[in-house]
Amino acid sequence: MNMKRSVLTMIAALVIVCTAWGQEKRYEIESAIVKRSSVMKAGFALLSEQTSIQYFADYGRHESGETVMDMAGQKLSVFTMVKDGYVYNANMTANQGTKINMADVMDDYKMVNYLNLTDDVRQKYQIEEKGSEQILGKDCTCYEMTLVVQGQSIKATVWVWKGLALKSSMNVAGMTVVEEATEIQEGAAIPKEKFELPEGIEFQELKMPM
């Protein structure tokens, strides 16, 4: 698996595990804009850095994200949204798009709603609470879990506040990906177009290797 596909797979896996987009109420906050930064490293070597903005309204029933990634000197601006069982990624820099069937990325995938962690989901991802920690002054519950991405078990840790993941960390194939919130704008008014797929972009389905 090449580097770009590894990154895409990890991002898709994190999206699936950390969110249950388009489902039921997921947050105790009606709307917000959350800014994040993340890094991917192999040992001490920095592979990529990125910043992202998460938009959600109606307690998480509507949600999307924008990411600016710097990878090997190449900057990409990507719009992400989950809809009808697919993760849509629109490369706004190149005006191109892909979509990934979530079932192709995760074995028997199930969404995680941190406001309603069912016994089924806890068992599926071996979710365990590991205390609490403050992030941006918010008291977060720390969860450890195990993901299965294309048959490979991956350990991940997520810090959650009011149903919202403010930090996540995962290790796969010798690489570490850590994402953390840097700013939260609670009660923000979100433009309607933030919850629509960009016009003029044809989304090609990307088949992940099994």
Strand order in the sheet with 62-71: 128-135, 138-149, 152-161, 164-172, 175-186, 32-42, 45-57, 62-71, 74-83, 86-91, 96-101, 203-205
Confidence of residue 72 (pLDDT cuts 50, 70, 90): low
pLDDT at 14: 54
CATH number of the domain that residue 164 is part of = 2.50.20.10
In a domain, 126, yes or no: yes
Top pLDDT among 203 and 4 is at 203
The pLDDT assigned to 68 comes to 87
Domain annotation covers residue 210: no
Calpha distance 155→173 (Å, rounded): 11
In a domain, 47, yes or no: yes
Q: What distances in angstroms separate CA 136 from CA 36, 57, 140, 148, one per listed residue?
A: 11, 21, 10, 30
Mean pLDDT on 80-91: 84
What mean pLDDT is predicted for residues 19-45? 83
Which position has the higher pLDDT, 207 or 38?
38
Tell me, yes or no, whether 56 lies in a domain: yes
Per-residue burial over 75-86, b if 16 or more Cβ lie within 10 Å, else e, is: ebebbbbbeeeb
The pLDDT score that the predictor gives to residue 18 is 54
Q: Average pLDDT in the 140-160 region?
A: 86
The CA–CA distances, whole Å, from 50 to 40, 97, 116, 175, 192 equal 9, 19, 30, 15, 25
Output 26 or 48, whichever has higher pLDDT: 26
Residue type for position 192 = K
Number of domains in the chain: 1
Position 10 pLDDT exceeds 90 = no
Residue 42 lies in a domain: yes
Q: Please state, in angstroms and rounded to a whole number, the distance separating the CA atoms of residues 89 and 69.
A: 13
Q: Answer whether residue 107 shows pLDDT above 90.
A: no
Q: Could you tell me if 6 and 173 are in contact, meaning their C-beta atoms sit under 8 angstroms apart?
A: yes
Kindly report which listed range (15-19, 100-104, 110-114, 144-148) carries the lowest average pLDDT score: 15-19
Give the pLDDT band (50/70/90) at residue 182: very high
Q: In the Cβ-directed half-sphere of 62, how many Cα atoms lie within 13 Å?
A: 15
Highest mean pLDDT out of 22-31, 38-47, 66-75, 185-194: 185-194
**pLDDT bracket for residue 1 (50, 70, 90):** very low
pLDDT digits (tens, 9 = 90+) for 43-59: 888 878 889 999 999 99
Q: Do 164 and 59 touch, CB atoms closer than 8 A?
A: no
198 within some domain: yes
In a domain, 99, yes or no: yes
Look at residue 18 and give its three-state secondary structure: helix
Say how far apart CA 110 and CA 104 lie, in whole Å: 12
At 158 the pLDDT is: 94
State the average pLDDT for the chain.
83
* Higher pLDDT pick, 107 / 134: 134
* Tokens, residue 149: 């991405």
3-state secondary structure of 196: coil
* CA–CA gap between residue 199 and residue 39 (Å, rounded): 30
Judged against a pLDDT cut of 60, whether residue 161 lies above it is answered with yes
Residue 177: closest CA among 1, 8, 2 = 8
Q: Which domain holds residue 82?
A: 3-205
